[in-house]
């Protein structure tokens, strides 16, 4: 191992390399998974005095991002092995959109496990779009927080901040029957990846099984296309009801997030 390799915590490392990292992707990243990486601890990768890339590690010692600059990619496998040992990494979460991470990771991996499917809207939906979607307004914040708190079990403190931002950006759509809120859809305009709309839907538990998720997604795809945006979404591999709804709305799984454990 090259004794000149170093990996040091550096909160600015992701910022310095973000534009080049995004440029080398072969397809858009899921913004939620990107946000997990951005929230993890960032490190600068160096060979001697030269900063050649960055990586990030979460609290469970999972490596969520690994990027090496052009001109140094021939050292990527060595750098990755060094980072795995230096940071006591337990596993790697690698997306197939990111060949710069995936290629050296596959050289070291002992076992792989599919984690999340990443979809893009590719074909005509099998279901009609849901009519009557209403753009949520600031006054809707409390009822949407209560809806998602009850449906997802997510912490209220997180939901209030997250949903307030969605409301302020005009990214939250509601489906009601009478005065009852049955589903909430998100159309997040990706600020780091222009031209991409990240979609998500939540359906009330009593209203599930009626095809609302697929029809709501189809409606959000239509709105995305009207804005000239490419619609993408994701779900975990084991969530088969969500996978059926997503595919009925015209999405196809282009990429994967995989969990890799490596040979020491």
pLDDT in tens, the chain (264 residues): 556 999 999 999 999 999 999 999 999 999 999 999 999 999 999 999 999 999 999 999 999 999 999 999 999 999 999 999 999 999 999 999 999 999 999 988 879 999 999 999 999 999 999 988 999 999 999 999 999 999 999 999 999 999 999 999 999 999 999 889 999 999 999 999 999 999 999 999 999 999 999 999 999 999 999 999 999 999 999 999 999 999 999 999 999 999 999 765
Distances (CA, A) of 110 to 49, 91, 178, 248: 32, 10, 54, 35
Strand partners, 207: none
Task: Locate the domains of the chain by residue range.
Answer: 5-114+258-262, 126-248
Helix axes 240-248, 212-226, angle to 10 degrees: 50
Give yes or no on whether 5-114+258-262 and 126-248 have one common fold: yes
- 126-248: CATH topology is Aminopeptidase (3.40.630)
Residue 262: predicted pLDDT: 75
Q: Which 3 state secondary structure label does DSSP give 60? A: coil
Query: What are the C-alpha distances in Å from 181 to residues 7, 89, 206, 253?
Result: 49, 43, 11, 29
> pLDDT of 12-69, one tens digit each?
999 999 999 999 999 999 999 999 999 999 999 999 999 999 999 999 999 999 999 9
Per the listing, tokens 């939620």 go with 32
**What is the DSSP secondary structure assignment for residue 70, as one 8-state letter?**
T
Query: Which tokens in the block code for residue 244?
Result: 């059926």
Domain 5-114+258-262 class, CATH top level: alpha beta
Nearest residue to 52 via CA among 40, 38, 70, 37: 70
């Amino acid at each position: 191992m090259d004794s000149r390799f170093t990996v040091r915590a550096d909160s600015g490392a992701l910022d310095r390399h973000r534009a080049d990292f995004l440029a080398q992707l072969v397809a858009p990243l899921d913004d939620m998974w990107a946000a997990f990486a951005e929230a993890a601890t960032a490190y600068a990768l160096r060979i001697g005095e030269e900063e050649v890339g960055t990586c990030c590690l979460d609290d469970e010692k999972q490596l969520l991002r690994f990027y090496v600059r052009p001109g140094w990619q021939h050292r990527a496998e060595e750098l990755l092995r060094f980072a795995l040992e230096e940071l006591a990494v337990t596993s790697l979460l690698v997306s197939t959109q990111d060949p710069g991470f995936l290629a050296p990771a596959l050289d070291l991996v002992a076992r792989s496990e599919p984690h999340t499917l990443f979809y893009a809207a590719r074909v005509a939906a099998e279901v009609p779009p849901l009519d009557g979607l209403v753009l949520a307004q600031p006054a809707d914040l409390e009822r949407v927080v209560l809806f998602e708190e009850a449906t997802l079990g997510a912490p209220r403190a997180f939901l209030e901040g997250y949903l307030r931002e969605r409301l302020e950006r005009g990214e939250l759509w509601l489906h009601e029957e009478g005065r009852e809120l049955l589903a909430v859809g998100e159309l997040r305009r990706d600020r780091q990846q222009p031209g991409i709309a990240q979609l998500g839907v939540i359906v009330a538990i009593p209203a599930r099984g009626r095809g609302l998720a697929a029809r709501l997604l189809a409606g959000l795809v239509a709105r995305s296309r009207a804005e000239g945006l490419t619609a993408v979404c994701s779900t975990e591999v084991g969530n088969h009801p969500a996978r059926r709804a997503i595919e009925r709305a015209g999405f196809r799984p282009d990429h994967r997030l995989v969990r890799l454990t490596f040979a020491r």
